Amino acid sequence: MTSGFENFNPRALFERNLNGAQRNSLLIGIIGMALLVFGLVVNRAQFFECYLEGFVFWGGMGFGFLLLLILHNATGGRWGLAIRPYLEAGSRTVQIMWIFFIPIVLGIPILYAWTRPEVQADLEGWATKSHYLNVSAWIFRAVLYFAIWIFYSMVCKAWNTPRKRRGQEEHGRLTTICCLGLLIFFITMSFAAIDWVMSVEPQWFSSIFGVIIIVGQGWSAFAFMVLFMAWIGGDRKAEIIPVKGLADLGNFMLMAVMLWAYTSFSQYLLIWSAQLPNETEWLIRRSHGGWGWIGFFLIMIHFFLPFFLLLFRKITRNHNRLAFVAVIMLLIHMVHDIWLIGPAFRENVGFPFVWMNAASMIGFGGIWIAIFIGYLKAVAPVELEHEPHPVTSGPVDRPHTARRPGLNPVGA
């Protein structure tokens, strides 16, 4: 019985010309960012809103790669072998995302209403909330989050070098660190989601909101990997990612779709069943005008469409078809992140999108992809040069065990 990895040649990726893709991505990103900076002159409030939305989506993709890398280090499994270079490259983008976070810090008074005295006077329970929602504590927590995430991205890279991978003792330490890292990541990212996204509407709270954000990050990371392989692979897609590995990615994409639907519906059900004014107001704000139509399309395209498409093996085992599904998933998740943040600033609008939404997503996307490709070129060739990939190093010779008298294997 074959494993599906027989034709896997990870070196094929680095035989492609990634320089052109990196250069084009960077150029597009610079143009998008230039347009977004122009928006700062036109409308400062809208600039910071759209900048936050772009950071949440593209920065969240890097956090999603970090989550998957920690998960694979903690659990192992064949599913992560073929995509290991992508996980490492994507997780390393976290090390410079703090630079792109600086404008959000500068825009705190505009983005977060809880910094304004007139809003604080109307907030229920502000005397208690103020111990958590204050600028100094907010910035301190952000620094702590990035320090932890950068630490794990560096640890996962350092321990994946050939010198470190040889010993079982070192491997056991990495597994222990990453098992703890899963818990730490979920805690820190949940609080980051509260600080950066949920607190734009400080009167609202959801205990499952952080999980929704984390699931979306994994969603984006899986979809981006599939799309990137199809884009850069050309006629050698099957060497870069074998069909079996592609099917695994398709299954993980399906898992992300179902997890997002479960957590989002749970949040909706809990809010409406509790009938608390502050919580229901959050949903009502996203159910009127153009935002209401976006909510309807999220149900149809963010869940039902990819869910049914990913049930078919003819799609999950075909590079181009699965890449088409990945495009849909990435685009609709962009819309989802805008839908989470936008209504807090622009309520009851007919058409919910503005041109700075596109500038932010294109600018962040181009620069993030260029950084990702740069790390990909630096990370994986070193790994492949010094140590054969586990799935291509041939069959494993297992020692023969002595047979117990009177016990014969089936078919002997």
Predicted confidence (pLDDT) per residue in 295-306, tens digit: 999 999 999 999
Q: What is the pLDDT of residue 159?
A: 66
pLDDT single digits (tens) 352-391: 899 999 999 999 999 999 999 999 988 755 454 444 444 4
Whole-number Å distance between alpha carbons of 224 and 357: 20
What average pLDDT does range 97-106 have in this prediction?
97
Q: Tell me, yes or no, whether 198 lies in a domain.
A: yes
Question: What is the DSSP-derived secondary structure letter of residue 308?
Answer: H
Higher pLDDT, 276 or 256: 256
Both ends of the chain: CA-CA distance in Å? 19
Q: What is the pLDDT of residue 388?
A: 41
What average pLDDT does range 33-46 have in this prediction?
95
State how many domains the chain has.
Answer: 1
Fill in the amino acid letter for 202. Answer: P
What average pLDDT does range 249-261 have in this prediction?
95
Contact predicate 111/48, CB 8 Å: yes
Q: Tell me, yes or no, whether 316 lies in a domain.
A: yes
Structure tokens, 276:
């608390």
> pLDDT at residue 54 above 80?
yes
Q: How many residues does the chain have?
A: 412
Range of the domain at 224: 11-117+132-392
Q: Tell me, yes or no, whether 125 lies in a domain.
A: no
> pLDDT at residue 32 above 70?
yes
- Of these ranges, 30-39, 242-251, 261-270, the one predicted with the greatest mean pLDDT is 30-39
Q: What is the pLDDT of residue 183?
A: 96
What average pLDDT does range 320-333 have in this prediction?
96
Task: Provide the percentage of residues in the chain whose pLDDT is more than 90.
Answer: 61
Q: What is the pLDDT of residue 76?
A: 82
Q: What is the pLDDT of residue 380?
A: 56
Question: Where is average pLDDT lowest: 116-130, 184-198, 251-265, 300-314?
Answer: 116-130
Q: What is the pLDDT of residue 244?
A: 83
Contact predicate 194/209, CB 8 Å: yes
Q: What is the pLDDT of residue 255?
A: 96
> pLDDT at residue 260 above 60?
yes
Q: Tell me, yes or no, whether 319 lies in a domain.
A: yes
pLDDT single digits (tens) 163-222: 444 455 666 788 889 999 999 999 999 999 999 999 999 988 899 999 999 999 999 999
Whole-number Å distance between alpha carbons of 340 and 412: 62
Q: What is the pLDDT of residue 259?
A: 96
Q: Tell me, yes or no, whether 411 lies in a domain.
A: no
Whole-number Å distance between alpha carbons of 212 and 384: 35
- What pTM was estimated for this model as a whole? 0.87
What average pLDDT does range 269-294 have in this prediction?
86
Q: What is the pLDDT of residue 306?
A: 97
Structure tokens, 82:
């073929």
Q: What is the pLDDT of residue 367?
A: 97
Q: What is the pLDDT of residue 412?
A: 39
Fill in the amino acid letter for 193. Answer: A
Angstrom CA distances, 169 to 55, 154, 176, stand at: 38, 19, 11
Q: Tell me, yes or no, whether 127 lies in a domain.
A: no
Helix H or strand E segment including 31: helix 18-42
Q: Tell me, yes or no, whether 308 lies in a domain.
A: yes
Q: Tell me, yes or no, whether 87 lies in a domain.
A: yes
> pLDDT at residue 69 above 90?
yes
Among all chains, which residue has been given the structure tokens 């809103």? 49
Average predicted confidence (pLDDT) for the chain? 85
pLDDT tier, 332 (very low <50, low <70, confident <90, very high otherwise): very high
